[in-house]
Structure 1
Amino acid sequence: MKKRQMDLLGLVLLVCLSLLCAACAPSQEKMDTLATEVAAGIYATLTAQAPIETPTATIIPSPTAVPSPTTTPTPGAMVAVSVLNVREGPGTTYTALGQLNRGEELDITGQFENCSWVKMKSRSSGLEGWVAGGEQYIELRIPCEQIPLGVFHPQTGWIQRGEGGGYGTMTVDNGTAKDGVVILTANDQAVMAAYIRAGEKFTLQGIQDGTYALYFSTGSDWNGKEFMTDPRRQRFTDAFEFSTSASAYTIWDVTLHTVTGGTASAQDVGEGDFPAIGE
């Protein structure tokens, strides 16, 4: 009887304890809230501990150009005599500008009459001008046909003297501001020609009897064939007659500039219609 009472008492205590525990346990809503807070805390912790990668720019150096080695051009010629005169133009009648010594290296810039004269500049002294082009004077290292005609300032005088043999004369006055070249032609062929500097005169002599046309050109930078700068080519409209008798011969006076009372006129001609000289 005591044992059953004890068992009953224990059962009662167990039921009371269960009820007590059930009363103390949190509700499902609190459990869900707690789980959310725990998960958020874990995420925040992991996020705070995770390293943040900051993007960095990669600098790629620009390629540095390697300078090409510079080479000194081969000189066009070398002086072959002890002393060589440098002149203002291609000829011994031109003023001497200075002298060169054997072995001086020259840069060639032009030539005249198949390199009988060459225009040059000395590499050592800087002196520029014309020198005789014969092999006894210089050692030319460039084929003559590759050298352009050089420009110069001729003196007033003959360019092409002609056969002569006549008595007729023609005096040409170049009163223009530019140098001029006059060419006397017969049957469309140049008979004689002269270079006349601005403000100077020249007389063509030895003109044979016949009918002639007179062409003239003005400009600057003459190369032995034509003016390279500001060329103007013209032809006198009227022909020029020359005749000789036992007591008289023909004399003409011509001006390349306009004069009061002048009776001659001229017209422009194209390059292809202008007579060639020195050929």
Structure 2
Amino acid sequence: MKSKGGKYVKEKLILFIAVIVFFGGSKLINITRAFTHHYITSLNGLKPTIIFTNTLITIAQSSNLTASKIRPETGTFIKDSPRDGYCILTIKNQLNNTDAIAILTPLGSKNPLIAVYIRSRDSFTIKGIRDGTYELYFSLGEEWDDKIRRFTKKAIYEHFEDPLIFETIYEKYSTYISIKYTHLEVTLYEVIGGNTKTKRISEKEFPDLRP
């Protein structure tokens, strides 16, 4: 099935703030890109230690409550990898009536690095992404089953045609170091004047999140 939509990319430099890029999902979507500036007065080290961690949630089961009946909270990491970089990805699902799972993989691979659950009418920001080029997959649907790590009702699967590029730039001056990093913002729903395209794919083409 052909994806609908295209999308535009804005790039701006925001002093002391960030870079933003808007991408979309299987319709007309947006991506915004920006660079955030941070200033470090100490020149002893090029990069301070910044580590973002999230505990992977294991859903407890009982005779009265099974995993298939549990709806994860927005921000539940189904899959996670070390996030000690600077870059940021904001994923917006506010205009969809179904929940989403968004997955980052290395370029040219379906091996999931980060997978996060985002409820309908909500958004989430992933921090600490390392520099690199990634692919973004997402699925929309209902009735999440944590055992198979899929939506079991009304599931659709999408893949962004354009890769997401994250970059950190260090600029060393006589008394401080300036650090600029990418902040991308993507939408998983149709927008007017969208600047990126997604492709509808089959369940077999979607990354496997099972342990």
TM-score interval for Structure 1 and Structure 2 normalised by the shorter chain: 0.5 to 0.7
| Greater RCO (CA < 8 Å, at least 6 residues apart) | 2
- Between the aligned partners of 1:240 and 1:190, the Cα distance in structure 2 is 14
What's the counterpart of residue 164 of structure 2?
A: 240
Structure 1 contact 170–251 (Cα < 8 Å) conserved? yes
- Between the aligned partners of 2:88 and 2:210, the Cα distance in structure 1 is 21
- Between the aligned partners of 2:79 and 2:110, the Cα distance in structure 1 is 15
Query: Where in structure 1 do 4 or more consecutive aligned residues deviate above 4 Å?
Result: none
Shift of 1:278: 4.4
Q: Which has the larger radius of gyration?
A: 1
Aligned equivalent of 1:229, options 134, 139, 153: 153
Aligned equivalent of 1:190, options 112, 125, 134: 112
Given the two structures, how large is their TM-score scaled by the length of structure 2? 0.63
**Matched residue type, 2:167:** S
| Greater share of residues in strand | 2
What's the counterpart of residue 84 of structure 2?
A: 165
| Greater share of residues in helix | 1
What's the counterpart of residue 127 of structure 2?
A: 205
List per-residue Cα deviations over 1:25-84 (Å, max 9, x = no partner): xxxxxxxxxxxxxxxxxxxxxxxxxxxxxxxxxxxxxxxxxxxxxxxxxxxxxxxxxxxx
What's the counterpart of residue 179 of structure 1?
A: 99
Structure 1 contact 160–278 (Cα < 8 Å) conserved? no
- Between the aligned partners of 2:71 and 2:158, the Cα distance in structure 1 is 21
Shift of 1:161: 2.6
Q: Which runs of 5 or more structure 1 residues have no equivalent in the other structure? A: 1-111, 122-128, 131-148
What's the counterpart of residue 50 of structure 2?
A: none
Structure 2 contact 103–138 (Cα < 8 Å) conserved? yes
Cα gap change, 1:231 to 1:205, in 2 (>3 Å): same
Aligned length: 141
**Matched residue type, 2:207:** P
- Between the aligned partners of 1:154 and 1:120, the Cα distance in structure 2 is 19
List per-residue Cα deviations over 1:156-204 (Å, max 9, x = no partner): 0122232111111110000211000000111321110110000100011
Partner SS, residue 257 of structure 1: coil
Shift of 1:119: 4.2
Structure 1 contact 119–150 (Cα < 8 Å) conserved? no
The percent of aligned pairs where both chains have the same amino acid is 33
Structure 1 contact 168–208 (Cα < 8 Å) conserved? yes
